[in-house]
């Protein structure tokens, strides 16, 4: 029985593989990647590497085996039909008779367009009859902390989220939850709503940045249209800017506050506080 991770060299996948190596023998892990060169590190540690592409169904032929546990990490090619891409993996997993397919989805409370592909993928997965786990990941600290340069340059956090709050957590936290499901028992046909332990507002985020940098960082709340203009001006494609502005609107409505405690329970430890993620980012 293998534990198979798709998107294994992506932002989240790398954390999952790294944490799996702490819990199971390397030969039990299969990293599914599009570029084998990017998986040289895990391969050198004994992880099996399989090259496959969500856009090429034939590359998944024979990749899974009966009894495997599979983590389907959602794709990020918003323009290539993610539901179709995910269905390729689900179909191959069903044909092989895998023991479990876990999918990284979005919180059930999220109504923004970003959630549409996730909801549709969940429907495909449930209709497949496979034993499933829905890992409804909330927002990531890194969505903010990995792009601090313009914030520090302009002395402002800019968002179209009003006074809305976010229960974000680190990628390593969400990876720990996924690893718990992949290496544990009793997670079949279960949905987990995952988010950080403490919700924060953008004003609080700006205040924490100010505290840690010793500079005045303000929160500049803007309209959705202004936010889209800022994002497209920074080089983002308009459809993606529209999606991200839609997420901010959902944040303002409280849709990214997740208070179940599922994440820290699965991870077996408290979720990473935003302040800690900021500290790491500033050191980097």
Confidence of residue 209 (pLDDT cuts 50, 70, 90): very high
- What is the chain's Cα-based Rg? 19
Confidence of residue 269 (pLDDT cuts 50, 70, 90): very high
Residue 120 has a pLDDT of 97
273 Rama sector, left if φ>0, alpha if ψ -120 to 50, beta otherwise: beta
Mean pLDDT, residues 259-263 taken together: 98
Other residues' Cβ atoms within 10 Å of the Cβ of residue 54: 24
pLDDT in tens, 33-68: 999 999 999 999 999 999 999 999 999 999 999 999
3-state secondary structure of 149: helix
Whether pLDDT at 159 is above 90 = yes
Mean pLDDT, residues 181-193 taken together: 98
Mean pLDDT of the chain: 96
Mean pLDDT, residues 230-250 taken together: 93
- Residue 142 in tokens: 């890194």
3-state secondary structure of 105: strand
Whether pLDDT at 81 is above 90 = no
Residue 76 has a pLDDT of 81
Q: Which residues pair with 56 in a beta bridge?
A: 53
Whether pLDDT at 79 is above 90 = no
In the chain, the percentage of residues whose pLDDT exceeds 70 is 100
In the chain, the percentage of residues whose pLDDT exceeds 90 is 95
Residue 14 has a pLDDT of 97
Determine contact, residues 34/50, Cβ cutoff 8 Å: no
For residues 236 and 90, the model is more confident at 90
How far CA 113 is from CA of 79, 232, 253, in Å, comes to 13, 18, 14
3-state secondary structure of 269: coil
Other residues' Cβ atoms within 10 Å of the Cβ of residue 254: 13
């Amino acid at each position: 029985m293998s534990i198979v991770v798709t998107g294994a060299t992506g932002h989240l996948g790398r954390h999952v593989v790294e944490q799996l190596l702490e819990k199971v023998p390397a030969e039990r892990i299969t990293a599914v990647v599009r570029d084998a060169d990017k998986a040289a590190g895990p391969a050198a540690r004994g992880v099996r590497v399989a090259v496959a592409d969500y856009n090429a169904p034939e590359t998944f032929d024979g990749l899974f085996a009966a009894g495997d546990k599979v983590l389907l990490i959602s794709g990020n090619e918003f323009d290539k039909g993610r539901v179709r891409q995910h269905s390729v993996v689900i179909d191959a997993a069903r044909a092989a008779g895998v023991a479990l397919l876990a999918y990284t989805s979005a919180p059930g409370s999220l109504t923004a367009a970003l959630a549409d592909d996730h909801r549709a993928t969940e429907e495909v997965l449930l209709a497949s009859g496979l034993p499933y786990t829905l890992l409804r990941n909330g927002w990531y600290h890194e969505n903010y902390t990995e792009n601090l340069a313009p914030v520090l340059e302009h002395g402002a956090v800019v968002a179209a989220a009003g006074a809305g709050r976010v229960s974000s957590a680190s990628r390593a936290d969400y990876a720990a939850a996924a690893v718990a499901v992949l290496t544990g028992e009793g997670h079949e046909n279960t949905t987990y709503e995952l988010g950080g332990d403490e919700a924060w507002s953008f004003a609080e985020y700006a205040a924490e940045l100010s505290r840690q940098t010793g500079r005045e960082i303000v929160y500049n709340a803007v309209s959705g249209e202004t936010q889209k203009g800022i994002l497209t001006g920074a080089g983002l494609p308009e459809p993606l800017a529209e999606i991200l502005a839609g997420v901010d609107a959902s944040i303002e409505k409280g849709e990214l506050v997740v208070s179940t405690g599922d994440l820290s329970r699965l991870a077996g430890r408290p979720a990473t506080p935003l302040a800690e993620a900021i500290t790491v980012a500033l050191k980097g």
